[in-house]
Amino acid sequence: MAPSIRIRKPWEIPGLRPTPEAAFLDRRKFLVRMGRTGVGIAGAGLIPGVAGAILGGCAQPPGAEDDPKPLPLRPIDATRNPQFKLDRPLTPEAVAANYNNFWEFSEIKERVAGLARNFRSRPWTVEVAGKVGKPQTFDLDDLLRLMPIEERLYRFRCVEAWAMAVPWVGFPLKALLDRVEPLSSAKFVRMVSFHDPKQAPNQRPPTHYPWPYFEGLTMEEAVNPLTLMVNGIYGHDLPPQHGAPLRLIVPWKYGFKSIKSVVRIELTQKRPPTFWNELSPREYDFWANVEPEVPHPRWSQASERMIDTGERRPTLKYNGYADLVAHLYPA
Ligand SMILES: Nc1nc2c(c(=O)[nH]1)N[C@H]1C(S)=C(S)[C@@H](COP(=O)(O)O)O[C@H]1N2
Ligand SMILES: [Mo]
């Protein structure tokens, strides 16, 4: 009788799946490296243009010399919306820009910036389709000219229990959806990331992931005023590692909902499948609301670790945005 061998998926292998312990060790290595190279946190008062060079990190992939140069990060002059106040300091830009989850490039947070630095995010189009009256494919720069761009300071919480606070630049997703005239049958919004194995090393065979990355929200969540489409951070274009040129930010949900480098938005009648939920439904549910009292199967969610200082803070219900979203989830 043949032995029955069950081949484990990479996300089931302890060394490869995200754990708070791994994240903590990674963070320590990162601090040591930052100290050695002198690319200190003080260097974070970024002059756009120089930002690309700094944020690109020092982890150049082999052969990167032949690659085109990183696209410059142009300044964005957006007014800060005073409604969104923080209860904690902003995370230094250089820390946020070198500790990223972007599995298309690497499963190691400190390597993403270097591997993504030459990502071509222009020209870029965003297709909006499905249950809408006016389906449309927008050139991104045309779209940005139409949208009410502003800056917002938001808390951000990863399911792995790390957290940061950053100034995003973007526009409410609702402003975009209004232009395509959703039909009454539209109940969900599905979003899809880019798929380009030439640029994204972890999308190449033998990858075990069902690329491209896909996520979704209910229509009510999508039109909530907090739900932002983001094209900038720290007063300039998004650098590749943060999801250039356009990503979603849903600040009351765990970070995996906030899909990066979006190419397609589709309004649907049925709840769409989502990437991490397909891979591990017990661990990553569709809702993914930040709830301190609901532990992840492998760790508590009662507290979170700030990625710059290592400080632990109590996790806030809906990441501190309950007044704006609790009504979406009646008990
Ligand atoms: N396309 C895509 N989007 C993604 C991810 C990813 O791997 N691929 N990771 C998610 C997770 S788990 C987190 S925590 C955030 C991280 O965003 P940041 O690197 O800008 O902090 O992006 C989310 N969006
Ligand atoms: Mo995450």
- Per-residue confidence (pLDDT) for residue 68, from 0 to 100: 81
> Does residue 33 carry a pLDDT above 90?
no
In a domain, 115, yes or no: yes
From residue 292, alpha-carbon distances to 130, 202, 217 in Å are 35, 32, 21
By the CB criterion, residues less than 5 angstroms from ion ligand 2 are 101, 158, 255-256
Residue 84's closest CA among 189, 185, 166, 180? 166
Domain span holding position 196: 17-328
Model confidence pLDDT, tens digit, residues 199-247 = 999 999 999 999 999 999 999 999 999 999 999 999 999 999 999 999 9
Banded model confidence at residue 15, pLDDT cuts 50, 70, 90 = very low
Cβ atoms of 162 and 255 closer than 8 Å: no
For the ranges 35-39, 310-314, 322-326, which has the lowest average pLDDT?
35-39
- Per-residue confidence (pLDDT) for residue 25, from 0 to 100: 37
pTM over 0.75, yes/no: yes
Cβ atoms of 246 and 264 closer than 8 Å: no
Banded model confidence at residue 67, pLDDT cuts 50, 70, 90 = low
In a domain, 8, yes or no: no
Around ligand 1, the residues with Cβ closer than 6 Å are 100-104, 158, 193, 213, 242-243, 255-256, 258-261
Interval between CA 143 and ligand 1 midpoint (Å) = 23
Model confidence pLDDT, tens digit, residues 256-308 = 999 999 999 999 999 999 999 999 999 999 999 999 999 999 999 999 999 99
In a domain, 236, yes or no: yes
Q: Which ligand is nearest to the CA of 244?
A: 1
- For residues 307 and 88, give the distance between their C-alpha atoms in angstroms, rounded to a whole number: 12
CATH, residue 293: 3.90.420.10
In a domain, 220, yes or no: yes
> Which of ligand 1's atoms lies nearest the C-alpha of 18?
12
Residue 291's closest CA among 271, 315, 270, 264? 315
- Per-residue confidence (pLDDT) for residue 174, from 0 to 100: 98
- Per-residue confidence (pLDDT) for residue 48, from 0 to 100: 37
In a domain, 4, yes or no: no
In a domain, 231, yes or no: yes
Tally the domains of the chain.
1
In a domain, 10, yes or no: no
Interval between CA 135 and ligand 1 midpoint (Å) = 27
In a domain, 1, yes or no: no
